[in-house]
Amino acid sequence: MSVPRFWRRLKNLYNLIGTHCKKCGEYYYPPRNMCPKCRRIGQVVPFKFKGIGEVVTFTIVHSAAKDFAKNTPYILAIIKLEEGPHLTSQVICNHNDIHIGMKVKSAFRKLGEESEKGMIYYGTKFVPLADN
């Protein structure tokens, strides 16, 4: 991730801010400026998700790109948010505990860093809902 790209997405990474179409009731994450269902008649507004969801499926990553190598093995999951949208995120928990249907909540974590002297990227990951 480059610094400008991170900066543009920062609000959406920190807080799971997506969009909501007031016309049809659909929620979008990442945010969409136009509702694909309602097209021109859609009424799209910013929406902050509660951050509660459920694991739909997951994989345990053992070999990762250089930036993430320090974190392997880690869990990458598709999460269905309570409000509807699906997103891909790391889930931080014991690897024996992860399962399909696990309730999770968002947490503020380091996503990565450019290098030891570079920018640190922060954003949202998920932890078990049962965590403190």
Please choose, from the candidates 81, 9, 85, 93, the residue with its C-alpha nearest in 3D space to the C-alpha of residue 50.
Answer: 81
Judged by beta carbon distances under 5 to 8 A according to partner kind, the member of other proteins, Zn ion, none in contact with residue 75 is: none
DSSP structure class, residue 63: S
CB 56 within 8 A of CB 49: no
Give the nearest distance from C-beta 47 to Zn ion in angstroms. Answer: 12
Give the nearest distance from C-beta 124 to Zn ion in angstroms. Answer: 24
**Spatial separation of the C-alpha atoms in residues 73 and 82, rounded to whole Å:** 27
Interface pick for Zn ion out of 38, 52, 76, 111 (rule CB under 5 A): 38
Judged by beta carbon distances under 5 to 8 A according to partner kind, the member of Zn ion, other proteins, none in contact with residue 35 is: Zn ion
Residues 11-30 contacting Zn ion, CB under 5 A? 21, 23-24
Smaller CB separation from other proteins, 82 or 131: 131
Smaller CB separation from other proteins, 42 or 128: 128
CA distance between the termini of the chain: 30
Please choose, from the candidates 102, 84, 86, 106, the residue with its C-alpha nearest in 3D space to the C-alpha of residue 94.
Answer: 102
Q: Which residues bind other proteins (CB under 8 A)?
A: 10-11, 14-15, 69-71, 92, 94, 107-111, 120, 122, 125, 131-132
CB 94 within 8 A of CB 21: no
Tell me which residues touch Zn ion (CB under 5 A). 21, 23-24, 35, 37-38, 42
